[in-house]
Amino acid sequence: MNREQIQRAERFHQMHSGPEPLVLPNAWDAASARVIEAAGAEAIGTTSAGMAWSAGYPDGEQLPVRELIDACARIARVVSAPLTVDIERGFGATSRDTAVLVEALMDLGVVGINIEDGTDPATGHLADPAILAERIACIRAVASNRGLPLFVNARIDTYVGTDPAPGSRLERTRQRALSYIDAGADGIFVPGLADRKDVASLVRALPVPFNAYAGYPGAPSVAAWAEAGARRISLGCGPMQAMLAQLGRLATEALVDGRYDAMGSHMLSVSEANGLFPLRAAHAARAA
Give CA–CA dist 211/216, Å, rounded.
15
Q: What is the pLDDT of residue 278?
A: 85
pLDDT digits (tens, 9 = 90+) for 118-151: 988 788 889 999 999 999 999 999 999 999 999 9
All residues at 6 or more sequence positions from 18 whose CB lies less than 8 Å from its CB, including other chains: none
Residue 234's SS3 state is: strand
All residues at 6 or more sequence positions from 164 whose CB lies less than 8 Å from its CB, including other chains: none
Give CA–CA dist 43/22, Å, rounded.
8
pLDDT digits (tens, 9 = 90+) for 207-232: 999 999 999 999 999 999 999 999 99
Give CA–CA dist 69/93, Å, rounded.
18
* Ordered structural domains, the chain, with CATH: 3-284 (3.20.20.60)
Helix/strand/coil (H, E, C) string of 116-130?
A: ECCECCCCCCECCHH
Q: What is the pLDDT of residue 287?
A: 44
Residue 277's SS3 state is: coil
Q: What is the pLDDT of residue 288?
A: 46
User: Which run of H or of E encompasses 189?
Assistant: strand 187-189
CA angle, corner 24, sides to 21 and 1, nearest 5? Answer: 95
Average pLDDT over residues 156-171: 83
Closest to 111 (Cα-Cα) out of 70, 81, 91: 81
Q: What is the pLDDT of residue 164?
A: 59
Q: What is the pLDDT of residue 285?
A: 45
Residue 87 has pLDDT above 60, yes or no: yes
